[in-house]
Amino acid sequence: MKTNFTLMRRATVFVWLLFFIAAGAQEARPGQPIKGVIVKGGKNPGGNLLISAGGGGLFPGNTYGLDSHVGNGFNGNINLYIPFVTLNSSETNYASLGLNGGAGFFGMKKDYNPEGPVYNIAGQPAPPSLKIEIGNGSRQNGFIGEAGIQSNFSFSKFTVSPIVNLAYISSKESQFTAVQTSSVNGQTRSFETSKRIISKTDGLGIIPKLRLSYFPGRIGFFVEGSYWAGPNVKSVTTIFKPNGTPNSEGFYSIDQVMAGKYETVETKNKLNALGFNVGVVFSILSKKEYAPKNTEIVNESQAKTNNSCVCLSSPTASVQFPNVSGPSINPGGTLTIPYNPANSTKFLRVEASPHPYNSLNTGTWASIITILTNGVLSTLSPAGNPFTHTGGQNPSGRLIPFSSLNVGINTICINVKCPYSGTTCSIGCFTVMVEGPPATSSGNITTTPVCCTKFVVVPGNPHKEVLTGQVKFKMTGTVVNAKLKIVSAGGVVSYENFVQNGFTACYTMPVDISIVSNTNLPVTSSTVNGLPVYRYSVKFGCRELGPKLPVQVIPGIKIPQ
């Protein structure tokens, strides 16, 4: 209860912090135009039907994290907001209430510390080792479906959204095992000293959220804090204890170990976590929300007679990369620029013509265009930003250096102002995605072959040691963003995560070992025992001894496969 209260208190502080950020930002820039929407008589996009997609971090509560053996993770979701009540207090500042629904996924890193001790066994020449085995992957994955109430409070370009959703939360079962390996009188034995099973979770929970959105146009961005209060998660822990007490030196006999028993404890704990997400939100506007209430769109002769210029509903604008030869997009589109070191010397071309039907573009008729990159004035070539457009139906072209763009999402917006009438609006915004360099991989490892054996327990012959005829490999060295690719007899391909001083699974020879990236692509600079690919042949000498005896499992004993 104390942990849950602490999490809720932190979530409350975070919620109020977001609210004051929104309020401060709104006061700092009152009356600014909404890019992509005509301000005069227009409506803030935050109150319309919204589709959002985002992701971020997930941080489990202390008690839940420790009992379920999970650490910090990630989550992603898609949400839909449908307004059904709108309270207009002004054209850009108002409130709305509606329904929120969506679905998402999450994953938290599994982190297991054994709960059982390591037992010393009489006859061992060296201390035993303890290996942790985690079932069903290295992450606790799951998904959610949610639905509830959302209210939006819009202030100019900002929208604050309290949300309360009822959620269905589901995650897979997890199993954590601690295996002790001891060498006793020349024989290798493995024991399960502890096992913990986290049951599959399916149930209802509540997820309150607070979202702050920023709309430079129809496409906006948001940050969001949330608190997950989910269903009970059941844990079953089994601890192995040898029979009796150790001798004066703290050692058990092998007979005491074989006669040992398990002790089982069952616990329940509420799923709870804090989430922090960022993402993109799309506003679905109706026709009437584009049209100004008090502005008449006039033709060329009327504009000349009335000495007034207006923002037309069909301006000409585009973004192109690279300049001249690359693909281009229209307002509201997304342009993806793949990673290429040569991009650093290239330019992003922006073209704009705010008044395609007006041939009088000099003097009081000229339009002043401002191009923004991520909310600040763009560095342009030719120099000058804002600049005066005098080309009539021919758009003015400006170049933005690629080096001024960020890796990831960039927003390019074009604003236009008629200096005579003072009318200011936006031609539109573009999303430019800049891809970064791919992650590097490397490896330089040494593998040592070891014959695989089984410790077979049968009545009357409990200590029978049998060679399986297969080989496993001990791994040492260094690997970065890479893993082992192992091709065994018959062309069977397997992948092994690199574990310093760890062992691979058992394989039938001949075996080829190489290093590949985490996406299974070859890493040409890597070596295994000094070679790009290393082969172990059947001449290594592991052979099957028989006949095989039927395998039986005794509590407290794990038989290596």
Task: Give pLDDT tens digits for 72-111.
Answer: 999 999 999 999 887 765 556 778 899 999 999 998 888 7
Higher pLDDT, 323 or 295: 323
The whole-number pLDDT of residue 505 equals 92
Which pTM was predicted?
0.44
- Condensed to tens digits (0 to 9), the pLDDT of residues 370-387 reads 999 999 999 988 878 888
**CA-CA distance, 71 to 138, in Å (whole number)?**
11
Q: Are 420 and 388 in contact (CB under 8 A)?
A: no
CATH 2.40.160.20 range(s) for the chain read 43-283
The whole-number pLDDT of residue 463 equals 58
**CA-CA distance, 535 to 488, in Å (whole number)?**
10
The whole-number pLDDT of residue 421 equals 66
Q: Which fold has domain 43-283?
A: Porin (2.40.160)
Beta strands in 89-186 (DSSP E): 93-110, 120-121, 129-135, 139-155, 158-171, 174-184
Q: Name the token pair of 370.
A: 């401002």
**CA-CA distance, 531 to 513, in Å (whole number)?**
10
The whole-number pLDDT of residue 459 equals 60
**CA-CA distance, 304 to 314, in Å (whole number)?**
20
* Residue 219 bridge partners (DSSP): 282
Q: Which of 115-124, 221-230, 293-302, 517-526 has the lowest mean pLDDT?
A: 293-302
Q: Are 370 and 386 in contact (CB under 8 A)?
A: yes
- Condensed to tens digits (0 to 9), the pLDDT of residues 23-69 reads 443 333 333 333 333 333 345 677 788 999 999 999 998 888 877 88
Mean pLDDT for 301-315 is: 45
Residue that has been written with the tokens 């399916």 in this structure: 202
Those residues whose C-beta lies under 8 Å from the C-beta of residue 35, and which sit 6 or more positions away, are: 216, 217, 413, 415, 426, 428, 429
Q: Which of 222-236, 325-339, 344-358 has the lowest mean pLDDT?
A: 344-358
Q: Which fold has domain 317-356+364-434?
A: Immunoglobulin-like (2.60.40)
pLDDT category at 117 given cuts 50, 70, 90 is confident
Q: Which of 198-207, 309-318, 367-376, 476-485 has the lowest mean pLDDT?
A: 309-318
CATH 2.60.40 range(s) for the chain read 317-356+364-434
The whole-number pLDDT of residue 551 equals 47
11, 15, 18, 24: CA torsion to nearest 10: -140
- Condensed to tens digits (0 to 9), the pLDDT of residues 447-467 reads 888 888 877 666 666 555 777
- Condensed to tens digits (0 to 9), the pLDDT of residues 394-405 reads 778 899 999 999
Cα–Cα distances (Å) from 497 to 451, 477, 478, in that order, read 20, 13, 12
Supply φ then ψ for residue 392, to 5 degrees: 60, -125
The distance in angstroms from the start CA to the end CA of the chain is: 44
Closest-CA residue to 410 (of 280, 317, 225): 280
Given a cut of 70, is residue 349 above it in pLDDT?
A: yes
The whole-number pLDDT of residue 21 equals 42
pLDDT category at 417 given cuts 50, 70, 90 is confident
Higher pLDDT, 354 or 14: 354
